[in-house]
Amino acid sequence: YKVFEVMEETGVAPDVVTYNSLIDGLCKVMKVDEALKLFEEMGEKGCLPDVVTFNCLVGGFCRDKRIDEALELLQLMYERQCAPDAVTYTTLMDGLCKVGNVDEAQNLYQRMVKQNCMPTVVTYSVLIHGLCKESRMDEAYHIKKDMLTKGCRPDVVTYNAFINGLCKTGEVDKASQLLSEMFRRGRRPNVVSYNTLLDGLCKEHKVDDAKKLFKEMTVSGCAPDVITYNTLISGLCKSLRLTEAQNLLRDMEKQGIPVDVVTNNTIIDGLCKVNRVDEASELLRTMRGRNSPDVITYNTLIAGLCTHNKLQEAHVLLKEMLEKGYAPDSITYSSLVKGLCMATQDKDVHQLLKEMLEENSIPE
RNA sequence: UAUAGCUUUUCCUAACA
């Protein structure tokens, strides 16, 4: 904005690329309405929005789950004779998939084809990803066939979507096979491919296989990232193998990979699970700056405290959350409700519940 | 020079027992 103002002051006319960059930036930080203002301003200043302008806004609305408004923009594009391109349609299809409307995404795909707009590998991957998320693997395979007949080869992301789908439907073996297939087809798995499969293995309680795969990935020259570590740490924590998880923390430090909020949240959860709630609380206290706690941090610890019948402390944390401006969500409350239901010291529970209601710290 | 897709953390989650 500052540069933009200077440009205006010094009489350097912003062009469509200037506007587009700014609009996209605003959309990416969820300020779509502000972006929309700029969009209108462009029109007034005689700078015609182009397809990229529209695409950025469509993406902004989709990210904000405001699909109807995104579709209105598509309509506006037709009216203004600004032909939507593959990015427009793909962005919308992705938005539809992410709100759980894969069927509508497929309808839009048909429309795109009717308008003679060529789908790209991204278009297909979006559909495949949407279908895989819904465990509609057969339909996903069908799309893959379609794309191949049209001379469009699946890329790493396409494969990753399948790996994820297979893991989520409990077919980790098939997912592993797909990883091998990637090598054969000249599509080297990337760090996401490995992370996805690692998570699949962990969720099937095959943590040792995951550890093996972790070694394999480094051997094949794929560098682990913070998500790789988080995934493994989570798997180990779920299996109550805290020591190994903490070893991985050391490993991260050695590799120069900084931990993030997720890492800490995962460890907090792990500590709670093995009844080391005090250490978990201590960890929360160390979280500041770039690694400030988030709602999940609090939820995790509150759930841990509730599970171990430390309702007073959970209550204190709830108050802390509110004081610090974090908005408790349905998970916060269900943890607390569960804790209150299972509580063993009945008098205290009633007192606590009364307090919480009086503070308005829990909704009716 | 600007726009689209994949992975990790918190509560609950079937059936049977």
Q: Give the tens place of pLDDT for each residue, A177-198.
A: 999 999 999 999 999 999 999 9
Q: For residue A200, give both structure tokens.
A: 């699949």
Terminal CA-CA length for chain A: 43
User: Is residue A362's pLDDT more than 70?
Assistant: no
Using a 7 Å CB cutoff, list residues 26-65 of A near strand B: 50-53, 55-56, 59
Tell me the percentage of chain A whose pLDDT exceeds 90: 87
Going by the DSSP 8-state scheme, the letter that residue A344 receives in this structure is: S
Q: Which residue has the tokens 């309702």?
A: A311
The sign of the dihedral angle between the CA atoms of A70, A71, A77, A80 is negative
Residue A17: CB less than 7 A from any atom in strand B? yes
Using a 7 Å CB cutoff, list residues 166-185 of A near strand B: none
What is the distance between the alpha carbons of residues A107 and A169, in angstroms, rounded to a whole number?
Answer: 25
What is the distance between the alpha carbons of residues A210 and A224, in angstroms, rounded to a whole number?
Answer: 13
User: Is residue A346's pLDDT more than 70?
Assistant: no
Among protein residues, the one whose C-alpha sits closest to the C1' atom of B12 is A334
Pair A163, A192: CB distance under 8 Å: no
What is the distance between the alpha carbons of residues A299 and A329, in angstroms, rounded to a whole number?
Answer: 9
What is the distance between the alpha carbons of residues A203 and A199, in angstroms, rounded to a whole number?
Answer: 6
Q: Which band of pLDDT confidence, cut at 50, 70 and 90, is reported for residue A12?
A: confident
Q: Give the tens place of pLDDT for each residue, A57-114.
A: 999 999 999 999 999 999 999 999 999 999 999 999 999 999 999 999 999 999 999 9
What is the distance between the alpha carbons of residues A216 and A193, in angstroms, rounded to a whole number?
Answer: 13
Burial class (CB in 10 A: 0-12, 13-18, 19+), A239: middle
Q: Who contacts A11 (Cβ-Cβ below 8 Å, separation ≥6)?
A: none
Residue A140 sits at the vertex; the CA angle it makes with A160 and A70, to the nearest 5 degrees, is 85
Overall pTM > 0.80: yes
Q: What pLDDT is stored for residue A348 in this prediction?
A: 65
List chain B nucleotides near protein: any atom < 7 Å from a Cβ. 1-12
CA of A112: how far to CAs of A87, A89, A123, A206, A270, in Å? 11, 7, 10, 43, 47
Nearest nt to the CA of A58 via C1' is B3
Q: What pLDDT is stored for residue A361 in this prediction?
A: 62
Q: Who contacts A69 (Cβ-Cβ below 8 Å, separation ≥6)?
A: A61
Q: Give the tens place of pLDDT for each residue, A234-284.
A: 999 999 999 999 999 999 999 999 999 999 999 999 999 999 999 999 999
A13-22: average pLDDT: 90
